[in-house]
A = this chain, B = another copy of it.
């Protein structure tokens, strides 16, 4: 629970208005909705280009990160889905892709024979280690704004999702 006092300089060039050539928005909320979609598409496109050079897709990377977060503890396919940024992906087939590249391995779960346990391999860990510095740099592209501003946006986005 925090209180934020912000003093922020905002440039009025290259705004969402000029980017999508829409002069006027019905409300700040409309502008925000379109800006969120536009900015995230922009972000995901850059992400796609970045990962393409490493023979991996953003979703596959997302799964690998989840697996690494588990350390050596196996995780069920359905639990991977729950933690993904894009939960509409078919996790089953995503794991297939990682298996084919020897980045993950799959064992049947002893407690529940319907479930399948997934663990990251040494090779998967190596790939992530290799990517880490570049991903950090990629994420820190946002440092044009202050850490406090970044946290404020995060908190407001949380609030928006929570409202449902």
Contacts and interface: CB of A to CB of B under 8 A. Distances in A.
Interface of A: 1-16, 19-22, 26-45, 69, 82-88, 136, 138-145, 147-164
B142 A20 contact: no
A140 to B, nearest CB: 5
Given A36-B43, A36-B157, A39-B36, A152 B6 contact: yes
Contacts of A140: 27, 29-30
Total copies of this chain within the assembly: 2
Nearest to A39: B157
A151 to B, nearest CB: 5
A139 B33 contact: yes
B150 A29 contact: yes
